[in-house]
Chain A
Amino acid sequence: MSNAAKTPAPAAGGRAATKKELPEHFKAYKHVWVFVEQERGQVHPVSWELMGAGRKLADKLKVDLAAVVIGPEGEATRNAAVESFCYGADLAYVVADQVLADYRNESYTKALTDLVNTYKPEILLLGATTLGRDLAGSVATTLLTGLTADCTELDVDADGSLAATRPTFGGSLLCTIYTLNYRPQMATVRPRVMPMPERITCDPGRIVIHPLGLVEDDIVTKVLSFLPDRESAKSNLAYADVVVAGGLGLGSPENFQLVRQLASVLGAEYGCSRPLVQKGWVTSDRQIGQTGKTIRPKLYIAAGISGAIQHRVGVEGADLIVAINTDRNAPIFDFAHIGIVSDAIRMLPALTEAFRARLSPHSRDRIAS
């Protein structure tokens, strides 16, 4: 059962009547925390995106923004903590221990819940990655507090409560969720949903080191090995500057290559809408949308995609959205910047040729002039 599957809410009057005062012991909970996710020496960029969002919340609440770094002893963990100040953190909590070298639910959950119980944040944000989701659910249940997943927007109300907005009902609508009477208020956000803030070089601030309190023997689950993905298998879809995507308007799986051809001429990444993944035409790592990847490219070309809200939330951050669809009333034209009513199957090859001609070396001279 999820937030979204609740029975219809009672009338607003009834809702206000049930709102209790925040229990006394929660009133001491202050400050906004962002979990900085690092694995094998790399910080996941979503951590910095969340730092940007967290900064805005902290400013509104007039409280501190803290980074939470959990990892093995050494350079990587320390660098992650130091780096967080460049993205707006006021202080950093660090739990560093060799036992934390690989992510495991038991050790990371203990580390994070200990920190929360000791230093009492009012808001805790994590990236909705496989690690983040594995960790957030355990921590929220341990703390018996509220957790809102996959938020597309975070804000604070006048009374200081966190307003977490996320899609609901399979993405057809949005809802705003509050954790009124429990602390910390927890939320996860998918990568690329929040904009990447500017990195500002600065000196590191206060770092608070906290012990883990576990030894290897205390932890049951053991990591036997790590099998990295093949380089070639990785797609850079989430961080690409230019993306071309196709939807059901392509008509058949064979036509998807028209999307790939245009992407290739543009040096772009390619993707698709959910139905194509469900039909097995394209692999799920190429899915763009609420349950796929969120993208923020400079240019996004959507061919034969109707523009349902599940897809919309995944692409709204793009600078320029161009939509090709045979239906003038398709929802995609409600949020695209430029539209053309045309058949994707004809338009894509035409665009591919036109771009190829336009971007070829000898035409560069025209750009320069």
Chain B
Amino acid sequence: MHSVVCIKQVPDSAQIRVHPVTNTIMRQGVPTIINPYDLFALEAALELRDKFGGEVTILTMGPPSAEDSLRKALTFGADRAVLLTDRFFAGADTLATTYALATAIRKIGQEYGKPDIIFTGKQTIDGDTAQVGPGIAKRLGLLQLTYVARIGALDLQARSLEAERRAEGGVQVLRTKLPCLITMLEATNQIRRGAMADALRAARADIVKWSAQDAGVEDISKCGLRGSPTIVKRVFAPSARAEKAAFVEAAEQPADALIEAIFKRQPTLEADLAALARGF
């Protein structure tokens, strides 16, 4: 079977800082990582390959430097990596992104065999929209299962797949047909460490690079900024509250002083807490 895993290279958001003078994002020197949620998707694909054989192809849309993430993803044991990179993709929102990715996935199907499952992570840590997976599914006419916690029975002959999907208050057990798209929930597995042979192969691999044209994009106006219905108009830091915190200067009994300050500010709170504490 053939799985395609979409990954994204993202800035390590824990390290992004704002320039103290100009108030813009300082991107230089911020290390990039593979979006952590994507690794759960990759491991799920690799586990299916362990069971059923076949291949795992990784796809990412990004700047040329995204090659680093693809190479790293290969060390986990994937079979090939495709980098979709073109200046026309810059500034894409999720709709324009899914157009490009869906086109590339179709091309991957032509070159390397039609995929049975497309995997994506739940969301990215820089965008957090969770929209790309569903968007790709819709464009490719694939059935979609999001927030999958576990992949169950897979019957390649019958082209059917069972999976557990997280819903509010519980888990849906669903059966669907291949080909389909799955977004994996976090903490559902742990990405394996590649063996030496995988690491060697990754280091030497030729990453396939496709421009928009190579990938078969028919309508370039659907890509990048031009193809994005949403526009970011303003980026700003949240305004500081007019009043900063009133400090309780540690007195003899700081805990008591703090409680006094709390109840002084919100007198009704004392009764509320007493009621809660009594378990009502």
Contacts and interface: CB of A to CB of B under 8 A. Distances in A.
Partners in one complex: yes
B138 interface: yes
Interface residues of B, number: 98
Contacts of B171: 226-227, 229
Contacts of B18: 172-173
Contact of B129 (A2, A170, A299): A2
Contacts of A227: 164, 170-171, 173
A130 B274 CA distance: 36
A227 B273 CA distance: 35
B221 interface: no
A338 B262 contact: yes
B201 interface: no
Contacts of B236: 173-176
Contact of A319 (B25, B124, B146, B266): B266
A180 interface: yes
Interface string A106-149: 10010000000000000000000111011011101110111111
A102 interface: yes
A78 B134 CA distance: 29
B143 A105 contact: yes
Given A220-B143, A226-B171, A319-B266, A333 B245 contact: yes
Interface stretch (A86-94, A250-258, A352-360): A352-360
Contacts of B75: none
B192 interface: no
Nearest to B98: A141
Interface in B234-265: 234-238, 240-241, 244-248, 250, 253-256, 258-259, 261-262, 265
A175 B129 contact: no
Contacts of A4: 126-128, 232
A234 B255 CA distance: 31
Interface stretch (A28-36, A65-73, A192-200, A340-348): A340-348
Contacts of B225: 6-7
14 contacts: A1-B97, A1-B132, A2-B93, A105-B146, A130-B146, A140-B135, A180-B231, A223-B172, A228-B170, A338-B247, A339-B247, A354-B255, A354-B256, A355-B273
Interface of A: 1-7, 9, 15, 39-40, 44, 102-106, 109, 129-131, 133-134, 136-138, 140-142, 144-150, 163, 167-182, 220-229, 234, 241-242, 265-268, 284, 290-291, 298-299, 309, 312-313, 319-320, 322-323, 328, 332-342, 347, 350-351, 353-355, 358-359, 361, 364, 367
Given A177-B232, A320-B266, 17 more contacts: A1-B8, A4-B128, A138-B137, A140-B135, A141-B95, A144-B95, A146-B230, A150-B128, A167-B128, A176-B232, A222-B176, A226-B167, A227-B171, A241-B276, A267-B273, A298-B269, A322-B262
